[in-house]
Amino acid sequence: MSNAQTTNSTVSPLPDSKPDERWDAFGFDLDRYDRWMSIASLYYRWLQVRTAGLSNVPSDGAAILVGNHAGLRVYDFFSLQVALRRFHPARRWVRAPLHIGTEKALFFGHLMIQYAGGVVGHRRNARYLLDKGELVMTYPEGGNSTGKRFRDRDVLCDLQHFGSGWARLALEADVPVIPVGSSGFESAVPTLFRSTTLGRYWGMDNDLYPVSPQSFLTATMPTLAWTLPFPTRCALSFGEPLDIKSLVGDADPKTEEAIGSATAKVHSIIQAHIENARVLRKYDQETITSNECHPAPSERLTG
């Protein structure tokens, strides 16, 4: 990880950085990140997160992780960060381009930028991280994940609303794509109904505010409802790295048709991993690790 040189000689170096490095161009501080991991780990344990396929994430080098999202329930991303930082052999950290405007949100924006390693959601920012060899998490559903009904949990949005910018970025940066499926996080803060009035008031995407039981305890503030999840069991399923060029085949990777075809294939793979994550929720982590309950995700998806 290449960080900007600090001008404060009194700051002690981090174990995972060079002696004269601490921050990168976005102010990312690994010390703060690890402090945040201590807090995020509480949610990880509270939600009884199970994981499978962590070994599919490379120990070094850049990659784009692509998965489904629970919208405002951002502990799916936090749980992914904890899994890779605490349980991956290389103790990797993950960065994420945020929806533009998130950085301005009271408290939450500061948390995401200064502690959780977020960056403003722009293509150049993501490319900067990839060029440094970092992991970048992206959620192609975007704001559509926020307005999901409870009955639509564990289901990706249709291809029409599933972004493809990550595929173009993977081709440009020549990095692999790792599909990630998650399950259970939407059930932790279930959507009772959607309100357009509250959606417009809070400036939500699609003017849809997902009203949950927690909303009545937090004065409907979007950034507070997710802090009180029910203790439902959740799971993350990591797939094998995918080469977008191989998914495109003989077609010109720069064409919209080729990008659309690759996006559709990854969309299907992620949905399969979501189904796999639903299965994982039934087992304890020891059983999953020993592969006693079912074949590894890569075997089921590529066979």
pLDDT in tens, 151-174: 778 888 888 889 899 999 999 999
How much is the average pLDDT of 110-121?
79
List the single range of 73-77, 218-222, 238-242, 268-272 with lowest mean pLDDT. Answer: 218-222
- The enclosing domain of 198 has a CATH number of 3.40.1130
Mean pLDDT of the chain: 80
Quote the CA–CA distance of 179 and 65 in Å, as a whole number: 6
- Structural domain contains residue 9: no
**pLDDT tens across 125-147, in order?**
999 999 999 999 999 987 666 66
Range of the domain at 199: 28-302
List the single range of 6-10, 83-87, 149-153, 288-292 with lowest mean pLDDT. Answer: 6-10
pTM, 2 dp? 0.81
- Structural domain contains residue 90: yes
Q: What is the pLDDT of residue 303?
A: 34
- Structural domain contains residue 262: yes
- Structural domain contains residue 136: yes
- Structural domain contains residue 231: yes
- Structural domain contains residue 21: no
How much is the average pLDDT of 184-210?
74
Quote the CA–CA distance of 124 and 221 in Å, as a whole number: 31
Please count the structural domains in the chain: 1
How much is the average pLDDT of 164-186?
94
- Structural domain contains residue 19: no
- Structural domain contains residue 256: yes
Quote the CA–CA distance of 144 and 205 in Å, as a whole number: 7
